[in-house]
Structure 1
Amino acid sequence: MTYTYRAATLDDAEILRDLLHASYAENLQYGVHFDATTVTLQQVQSHLSYNLCYFLEDDGAVLSTVSLRMPWGPNPGPCPVPHIGWFASLPNSGKQGIGSALLQWLETTILEEQLKVPYVTLGTADSHPWLGSMYEKKGYVKFGQKDLGKGHLTNYYKKNILEA
């Protein structure tokens, strides 16, 4: 497969909403309710207006997405650097490395080469059975935890992008 990567636009709001709903639905079986599970079209449009969002496509079909929430935006992460959010792949594409390919592209092309950030953060539910260990295998290190009132504690992870 030859993947292509592109920035999502407001015209992609319905595609993004549908991908998030399909991908995040699985988390309900673990008792984890991420906001993306039931995000509305209006919320997606707002998200696309204030954040960077990218797609991985194969032959024009969107297979995976990831967003960067900026520290100056309306929903910043815990540190003054970009924060990864809404990272999702179509459920039927699992175990093919699609999400890993998109994350690697984001870290290298966007965060390192374009934005030149020292590190990036992300957060995930402490009660999720495998997301934390998945991020740790990709080089992310847990650095904090917070109760955001979502029914679970959020574990924060960071990964160095540019070496000082």
Structure 2
Amino acid sequence: MQNVRIRPWVPSDDVQELTRLLHRAYRPLLEMGLHFTATSQPEEVTIDRISQGETYVAECDGKIVGTITLVGPGGVNRRAPALYSDPDVCYFTQFAVEPDLQRAGIGRALLSHVEARACELGAKSIALDTSELAHHLIQLYERWGYQIVATHSWGAPVNYRSVVMAKSIERGAL
């Protein structure tokens, strides 16, 4: 993970390139037949999702190579899992790393950053959701300390049931 820095998204960043990064990173899930929002979202949806929380990017040599958006605590999304509206819970979304740079520690660095930030915001837990069919992602999050706590159905155009996973982040738990 050489020369990578984590920083907040700024309005001058290229939303088109961020959207393309999301499409590239989520392409294997689309090839599995899973319709995650990030597999094909237009730039307008990327902007909307960025505006729902704090977005961070991993930058290497001036290029954005990863991203994650932290929402909450008590983030509001009427279609979201009930846990996401809990005032003690933050959640993250739009988590992606450039495919050629995956398994280099960039994703873990992004996630560690938002876990620490969620703790600063007073959250006791941080949560996520992913397809129950994305076994590789579930296993990854379990290795990182997350546990399945619920399931959720988003409805169309999402074509799978999600598992909701959470991790305690109270001071001293990280």
TM-score normalised to structure 2 length? 0.85
Q: What residue number does 1:21 align with?
A: 23
Determine whether 1:127 maps to 2:133.
yes
CA RMSD of aligned residues (A): 1.8
How far apart are residue 51 of structure 1 and its match? 1.8
1:163, distance to aligned residue in structure 2 (A):
4.8
Cα distance in structure 1, aligned partners of 2:28 and 2:133? 14
For residue 136 of structure 2, what is the amino acid of its counterpart?
Answer: W
Greater shift in the superposed pair: 21-30 or 9-18: 9-18
| Paired letter, 2:118 | L
Q: Which runs of 4+ in 1 moved over 4 A?
A: none
- In the other structure, the counterpart of 1:142 is 148
Provide the C-alpha distance between the structure 2 equivalents of 1:89 and 1:74, rounded to a whole number of angstroms: 24
| AA matched with 1:99 | G
Kept after mapping to 2: 8 A contact 1:121/1:158: yes
Q: Which amino acid aligns with 1:111?
A: A
Structure 2 gaps, min length 5: none
CA distance in 2, matches of 1:37, 1:88: 11
After superposition, give the CA deviation of every residue in 1:88-137 in whole Å (9 maximum; x if it has no partner): 000111221211121112212x122x313111110000011311011000
Cα shift at 1:59 = 2.0
Q: Does 1:57 align with 2:59?
A: yes
Secondary structure in structure 2 of the residue aligned to 1:11: coil
1:15, 1:50 → 2: CA distance?
Answer: 19
Which runs of 5 or more structure 1 residues have no equivalent in the other structure?
none
Which of 41, 47, 50 in structure 2 is aligned with 1:48? 50
1:156 aligned residue:
164
Counterpart AA for 2:159: G
Give 1:84-99 correspondences, 5 Å limit: 84-99=92-107
User: Paired residue for 2:123?
Assistant: 117
The match for 1:104 is 112
Aligned length: 162
Decide whether the 8 Å contact of 2:96 with 2:107 is kept in 1: yes
Among the aligned pairs, what percent are the same residue? 26
Find the aligned partners of 1:153 and 1:117 in 2 and give their Cα distance: 26
**Which is further off, 71-80 or 13-22?**
71-80
